[in-house]
Amino acid sequence: MLSARQRQLDRVRTFLFGSRTHYGAVFTVFLYALLIAIGFVYLYPLLFMFVTSIKSPEDLLNPMVQWVPTQIYTENYAKAYRVLNYPQTLTASVVMSVVPSALQVAVASLVGYGLARYRFPGKGLVLALVLATFIIPPQNTVIPQMLTYKQYGLLGSPLSLFLPAAFGQGFKSAIFILVFYQTFLTLPKVLEEAARLDGASDLRIFLTIALPAAVPAFIVLFVFSVVWYWNETFLTVIFLEGGVTTLPMQLSKFAQAYENLYPPGVVNIFDRLNEAIKMAGTFLNILPLLVMYFILQRWFVESIERTGIAGE
Amino acid sequence: MSVQGRTRRFELSFRAREALHGYGFIAIWVVGFLLFTLLPLVETFRYSLHRVTVTAETIQLEPLGWANYTRALFTDPTFVELLIAYSVETLVSVPIVLIFSLIIALFLNLRFRLKGFFRTVFFLPVVITSGPVIVELAAQGATSAPGIADSPAVAAVLAELPRALRNPVEYLLTSFILILWFSGVQILIYLASLQRVDKALYEAAAIDGAGAWEMFWKITLPSLTTATIVNAIFTVITLSHFSENPVTRYIYGQTYAVQGGIGYASAMAFLYFVAMAALLALIYLGLTVWARKEAR
């Protein structure tokens, strides 16, 4: 029999260190402290960016003003909006990420399905080559591509990004093919076989039976593809320069574009380029992605956990 | 004609038809691979052996043998220096990304309140890690551990270290937060494989009296071997293909430089590819050897 004192001690110990079913207080505090610290690492740049972007030129010069600006100064956003040529670059960015992504996901699903469902000689080789396309750095293929595009007058045209995507060679295409391959391997074959016995054609089986079953994978991969195309600057600068300007492209020459609009010799000192305006530009650049992410996030993360994007 | 003979013929044609339909599904990719990957790759290699002059109409090639390669390796001091720095930085970053993303994934796999909020925050890097954004943030000092590398004590310790060790440590201190920004997808991959570990294993181990620490080393870690290898490869490739990578920037700059040119840039691109492949092989071998030792 336990004494009252013993029982009390036990209760304290369970509270502090937990039992089989509950985490103890010590662990909980430790867990939240770490989570908050790491979360801060990711939120700090965003907070910093946002706070700096609403500082007036006076606040920027005032060493007393660190995290709380004396006023909300929206003029930075008005300037960044003009410098980025926002309506135009935003539309360009949306088109240049959504269209190749749709093409890329559609073709990757076809290829992934073909690899998962059919036996044919050379399948191992194709899989190895798909992996190889993931490893080959873009600068090993980009120059001849650029010269060929130039020859056909495609340089600066949206087609220069659409064409590779339509042929399964879009940005990071290997990941998409391999995830679809994995997804179709794990889906049951029975329905498809039954449809085949009923005389359905291969393409019809793919479109009406396999595709609907893989919808979660489609959506997750599409979102990933949009994000990666949106953030891509190496290829877009080479292929689109002179034709289409996406948001990140415009951001990378922000200083130059600013001085074209507001020549430093002409405008007064408060209208010169400062970090507040640059941060406003950066924030406008990631804002569409943030909005998309916060709308989709719950759904997005959960379906990744379900589709098993890890690919084993 | 026996029945057996007829079925075999049917078998064969069925096999052939299946293969044909399979080729039908992947044909578009094969054409794309030949046109947009293999052909340009071979072409780049050809350029790397020549001096390339592009005029309005034609591309002129002047054979140089391996001169572009020897020049990059033995005469150009910048390229080799950048390549060494890149290798060191990659070797330092990969373990950090792996350990960090594993820890985050383990946390996100626990039950606690506000999990949804933290999960949203931790996957932010997946969405916003792009070249120009990182450059703007780094320029404002938002990516380095604030002030650690500048403090006199740390500077004194750094000065004492041998040069070979000083560079990685310095890189670690100044870019620690930047490295963490490359962990988004890796956290996802770890989380997905953690959720596929059989719960019954943990219950059985708990009944046998194993603690959380033992369960981590004996059950969790061995189940994550594949995910770790996938993550390591993914990290190396993301870091190497990142558009603000100094080597990439240098090669790109040399493409249009007067002294450089397309031929020279192509040669450097291939050397960079070889270095990256070597790093991949090194990390892959290291991890598989380690996994085998763990399994024993």
Q: Which residue of A has its CA nearest to B261?
A: A143
pLDDT at A305 over 70: no
Helices (H) and strands (E) in chain B, counts: 16, 2
Please indicate whether residue A106 or residue B208 has the higher confidence score (pLDDT): A106
Among the residue ranges A116-125, A206-215, B62-71, B137-146, the one predicted with the least confidence is: B137-146
- 8-state DSSP, A18: B
To the nearest whole angstrom, how far is the Cα of B153 from the nearest Cα of chain A?
24
Diameter of chain B by CA atoms?
Answer: 93
**What's the mean pLDDT in A118-146?**
90
pLDDT band at A128 (very low <50, low <70, confident <90, very high): very high
pLDDT for the residue numbered A115? 92
For residue B120, what pLDDT band results from cuts at 50, 70 and 90? confident
Rounded to the nearest angstrom, the minimum Cα separation between A281 and chain B is 10
Same domain for B120 and B190?
yes
User: Which of A55-64, A108-117, A288-297 has the highest mean predicted lDDT (pLDDT)?
Assistant: A108-117
Contact between A309 and B189 using a beta-carbon 8 Å cutoff:
yes
pLDDT interval class at A257 (50, 70, 90) = confident
In the prediction, which pLDDT does B130 show?
Answer: 63
**Mean pLDDT confidence for A286-292:** 86
Residue A215: the pLDDT is 83
d(CA A250, CA A236): 11
Q: State yes or no: pLDDT of B132 exceeds 80.
A: no
Tell me, what's the pLDDT at B275? 93
| CATH label, A85-252, candidates 3.40.50.10490, 1.20.1250.20, 3.40.30.10, 1.10.3720.10 | 1.10.3720.10
Of residues A61 and B87, the one with the higher pLDDT is B87
Q: What is the mean pLDDT of chain B?
A: 81
CA A176 – CA A173 distance, rounded (Å): 5
pLDDT of residue B236: 92
pLDDT at B10 over 70: no
Query: Is residue B144 in some structural domain?
Result: no
Cβ-based neighbours of A162, under 8 Å, separated by 6 or more: A99, A100, A103
Residue A202: closest C-alpha in chain B = B21
Q: Using a CB-CB distance cutoff of 8 angstroms, which residues of chain A are in contact with residue B227? A: 310, 312
Percent of chain B scoring above 70 in pLDDT = 83
Mean pLDDT in chain A? 83
In this structure, what CATH number is given to the domain that contains residue B269? 1.10.3720.10
Rounded to a whole number of angstroms, the distance from the CA of A5 to the nearest CA of chain B is 27
Answer whether residue A193 shows pLDDT above 80.
yes
Residue of A39, A286, A311 lying closest to B133 (CB–CB): A286
Q: Which residue has the higher pLDDT, B14 or B217?
A: B217
The answer to whether ipTM exceeds 0.85 is no
Rounded to the nearest 10 degrees, the angle between the axes of helix B262-295 and helix B39-48 is 120
Give A205-228 pLDDT, tens digit per residue.
888 888 888 888 888 888 889 888
Tell whether A106 is within 8 A of chain B (Cβ): no
Task: Tell which residue, B258, B260, B296, has the closest CA to residue B68.
Answer: B260
Is B120 a member of any domain? yes
Cα angle: A234, vertex A240, A241; to 5 degrees: 85
Same domain, B125 and B35: no
Does residue B155 lie within any of the structural domains?
Answer: no
| Averaged pLDDT, A182-210 | 86
The residue with tokens 């796999």 is: B109
Q: Residue B12 has what pLDDT?
A: 63
Residue B140 falls inside a structural domain: no
pLDDT tens, position by position, B185-212: 888 888 888 888 888 888 888 888 888 8
Q: Do B36 and B73 have their domain in common?
A: no
Identify the pLDDT of residue A1. Answer: 54
> Mean of the pLDDT values across residues B33-37?
92
How many Å lie between the alpha carbon of B162 and the closest alpha carbon of chain A?
30
Which residues, in sequence order, are bridge partners of residue B190? none
How many residues are given for chain A? 312
Let me know whether B105 and B216 are in one domain. yes
The two tokens of residue B189 are 């991959």
- Please determine, for residue A307, whether its predicted confidence score (pLDDT) is greater than 60: no
pLDDT at A231 over 90: no
A55 or A91, which is more confident: A91
Residue B163 pLDDT level (bands cut at 50, 70, 90): low
Q: What is the pLDDT of residue A310?
A: 46
**Range with the poorest average pLDDT among A37-51, B54-68, B120-134, B188-202:** B120-134
pLDDT of the residue at A312: 40
The interface residues of chain B toward chain A in range 190-249, judged by CB-CB distance below 8 A, are 190-193, 195-196, 206, 226-227, 230, 237, 240-241, 243, 248
Highest mean pLDDT of the ranges A92-96, A215-219, B217-221, B250-254: A92-96
Q: Which residues of B touch A297 (CB under 8 A)?
A: 119-120, 123
Domain that holds residue B265: 67-129+182-295
Give domain status of residue B177, yes or no. no
Which candidate in B18, B122, B127 is best for mutational testing of the A interface (most A CBs within 10 A)?
Answer: B127
Question: Smallest Cα–Cα separation from B129: which of A282, A257, A120?
Answer: A282
Q: Which residues, in sequence order, are CB contacts of A89 under 8 Å at separation 6+? A: A245, A246, A247, A249, A250
Number of structural domains, chain B? Answer: 2
Q: Tell me, what's the pLDDT at A286?
A: 85
Is residue A77 within 8 Å of A53, Cβ to Cβ? yes
Instruction: Give rounded-to-5 percent helix, strand, coil for chain A.
Output: 75, 0, 25
Q: Are B180 and B100 in contact (CB under 8 A)?
A: yes
Task: Find which of B112-121, B139-148, B155-164 is predicted with most confidence, using mean pLDDT.
Answer: B112-121
Can you give the pLDDT at residue B131?
62
In a domain, B267, yes or no: yes
Q: Which of B50, B96, B243, B252 to mutate to test the interface with A (most CBs of A within 10 A)?
A: B243
- Interface subset of A 259-278, CB within 8 angstroms of B: 275, 278
Question: pLDDT grade, residue A39 (50/70/90)?
Answer: confident
pLDDT tens string B225-284: 888 998 999 999 988 888 778 888 888 888 887 777 888 899 999 999 999 999 999 999
Q: In a 3-state reduction of DSSP, which class is residue B79?
A: helix
Q: What is the pLDDT, as a whole number, of residue A17?
A: 67
Residue A108: per-residue pLDDT: 94
In this prediction, residues A92-121 reach a mean pLDDT of: 92
Give the DSSP letter string of B124-177.
Answer: HHHHH--HHHHHHHHHTT-SS-TTTTTSHHHHHHHHHS-HHHHHHHHHHHHHHH
Distance from CA of A249 to the nearest CA of B (A): 8
**Which of the residue ranges A212-216, A241-245, B28-32, B126-130 has the most confident prediction, judged by mean pLDDT?**
B28-32
CB hemisphere CA count around B241 (13 angstroms): 24
Q: Return the pLDDT at A80.
A: 86
